[in-house]
């Protein structure tokens, strides 16, 4: 089942707690401390009310009230709703990676993803986890995206980093750099071009999006002097995509493309590997970018920052990425289900 969202209703947005020893609760609290946001959605935090209370006391937000509910159907508008993944006392150790933190982050993620799949919430926003301490017999994934994707095995997905009009997708994601050249092939690039094109149309309401494709090698191969993947793999894939009505341009050398502000001319960018797209994104998205998992029948966004152990519990974490993640999810819901 997938959410049957109606634009006349306030959407139910599930927010996972992430690592309880990081900045997840801090950025969630700061966003929800502005009661005006409750006019736009119904927040359901998948976490632990005692941990929520611990942090709101530490940050001087004792006046913030919440309602503990058993399931998403009980969520109340104009309220902060919390679904406890456990009633046990959780030892909170801000700034440290602990087995308890990993276990708690997985329990909350599992609950929320089940509710998302079953249509009990309209969208999910995930706070950052620690990819190491969350590992267990039940969770053997490179990240939350791969775990969420496992609930929808019939769907292909593309990770899209979003900041204002900058949208970067990836051909390969969390794999070692040495494996990138062997992982890139014509069919994969065609598939990713279709995914990013469909996502821009369906979720961002862009008609005939222009997509820039980055090269793999320095200077995009420089006529095969520095590598032949551009001529032998990337360009042939782009030609197939163009024949199917996709407006693909390039391949462009990544350094000049971002350095010259050429990215502003395109609705989406397809990067060949993780750091090629993520490095310029982190420089440009100065107030907090968002990650969106395109291609799935459900809406899921997340912050692009990590657990922030070094600043945990210091009341200095910037909540803008979490705010943007929540409202991007709402915008995408409207784009998918309006009309």
Cβ contact 53:25 at 8 Å: no
pLDDT of residue 221: 65
Q: Do domains 1-153+297-339 and 156-295 have the same CATH topology?
A: yes
Half-sphere exposure of residue 32, counting CA atoms within 13 Å on the CB side?
Answer: 28
Report whether pLDDT(181) > 70.
yes
- Could you say which of 3.40.50.300, 1.10.490.10, 1.20.210.10, 3.40.718.10 is the CATH number of the domain covering 156-295? 3.40.718.10
Looking at domain 1-153+297-339, what is its CATH homologous superfamily?
Answer: Isopropylmalate Dehydrogenase (3.40.718.10)
Q: Kindly state the average pLDDT of the residues 116-136.
A: 96
What pLDDT, on the 0 to 100 scale, is given for residue 241? 97
pLDDT digit string (tens) for 225-273? 777 888 999 999 999 999 999 999 999 999 999 999 999 999 999 999 9
Query: Which residue has 């990819």 as its token pair?
Result: 131
Domain edges within the chain: 1-153+297-339, 156-295
| Pairing assessment for the beta strands 158-163 and 166-170 based on DSSP bridges | antiparallel
Mean per-residue pLDDT over the chain, rounded: 93
């Amino acid at each position: 089942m997938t959410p049957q969202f109606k634009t006349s209703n306030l959407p139910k947005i599930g927010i996972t707690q992430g690592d309880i020893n990081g900045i997840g609760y801090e950025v969630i609290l700061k966003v929800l401390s502005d009661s005006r946001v409750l006019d736009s959605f119904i927040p359901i935090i998948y976490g632990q009310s005692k941990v929520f209370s611990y942090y709101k006391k530490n940050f001087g937000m004792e006046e913030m009230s919440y309602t503990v509910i058993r399931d998403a159907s009980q969520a109340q508008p104009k309220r902060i709703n919390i679904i406890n993944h456990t009633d046990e006392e959780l030892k909170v150790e801000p700034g440290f990676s602990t087995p308890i933190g990993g276990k708690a982050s997985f329990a909350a993620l599992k609950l929320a993803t089940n509710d998302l799949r079953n249509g009990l919430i309209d969208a999910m926003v995930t706070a950052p986890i620690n990819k190491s301490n969350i590992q267990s017999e039940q969770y053997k994934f490179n990240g939350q995206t791969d775990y969420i994707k496992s609930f929808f095995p019939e769907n292909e997905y593309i990770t899209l980093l979003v900041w204002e009009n900058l949208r970067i997708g990836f051909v390969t994601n969390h794999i070692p750099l040495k494996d990138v050249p062997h992982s890139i092939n014509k069919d994969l690039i065609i598939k990713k071009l279709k995914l990013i094109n469909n996502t821009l149309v369906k979720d961002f309401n862009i008609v005939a999006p222009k997509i820039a494709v980055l090269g793999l090698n320095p200077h995009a191969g420089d006529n095969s002097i520095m590598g032949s993947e551009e001529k032998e793999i990337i360009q042939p894939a782009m030609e197939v995509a163009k024949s199917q009505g996709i407006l693909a341009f390039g391949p462009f050398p990544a350094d000049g493309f971002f350095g010259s502000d050429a990215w502003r001319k395109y609705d989406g960018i397809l990067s060949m590997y993780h750091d090629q797209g993520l490095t310029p994104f982190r420089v440009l998205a100065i107030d907090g970018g968002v990650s969106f998992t395109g291609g799935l029948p459900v809406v899921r966004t997340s912050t692009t920052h990590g657990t922030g152990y070094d600043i945990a519990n210091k009341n200095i974490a910037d909540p803008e990425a979490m705010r943007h993640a929540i409202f991007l999810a709402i915008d995408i819901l409207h784009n998918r289900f309006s009309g």
